[in-house]
Amino acid sequence: MAKKYTATYILANGERKTVQGDAGDNLLELAHQHGIPLEGACECALACSTCHVIVRENWFNKLSEATEKEEDLLDFAFGLTSTSRLGCQIVLGPDTDGIVVELPKATRNMMVDKDA
């Protein structure tokens, strides 16, 4: 049986939800599999910032560096912090096992919120 990896999501209301997934699952897909309300308007196409998550600081430096494209998209994220990343770009595996991320209080969908 393949090893499962865990991720904990802190929801906007403060509730913590810890789930398991397989190596290679990204945090956006994993959230959708477990009913966690993380929007993903572009469906992992790296074309929006609606899957913005705030990575707990002790985990942030363990992640691979964000690409320039991801950084550009994060500029549009609501509630951007120094440890913000896109959930679709964080992949489960040995280095991310146990990761903790917080969902922002709101999202900004550039396709819908063009004037925001």
Amino acid present at 2? A
User: Which residues are CB-contacts of 80 (< 8 A; sequence separation ≥ 6)?
Assistant: 52, 74
Q: Kindly tell me if the per-residue pLDDT of 108 is higher than 90.
A: no
Mean pLDDT of all residues belonging to the chain: 91
Q: Which domain does 9 fall in, by range?
A: 4-102
8 Å CB contact between 97 and 25: no
Where residue 107 falls among pLDDT bands split at 50, 70, 90?
Answer: low
- SS3 for 113? coil
What pLDDT, in 10s, does the model give residues 19-39? 999 999 999 999 999 999 999
In a domain, 109, yes or no: no
* Spatial separation of the C-alpha atoms in residues 52 and 78, rounded to whole Å: 8
Six-digit token string for 105: 């209080």
pLDDT value of residue 3: 93
Within-domain flag for 114: no
In a domain, 116, yes or no: no
Is residue 81 domain-resident? yes
Q: Is the Cβ–Cβ distance between 2 and 22 less than 8 Å? A: yes
Q: Which two tokens stand for residue 41?
A: 């308007």
Residue 110 inside a domain? The answer is no
Closest CA to 56 of 90, 13, 25, 107: 90
Query: Which tens digits make up the pLDDT trace of 45-78?
Result: 999 999 999 999 999 999 999 999 999 999 999 8
The model's pTM? 0.89
Residue 98: CATH number of its domain:
3.10.20.30
For the chain, the C-alpha Rg in angstroms (whole number) is 13
| Count: domains in the chain | 1
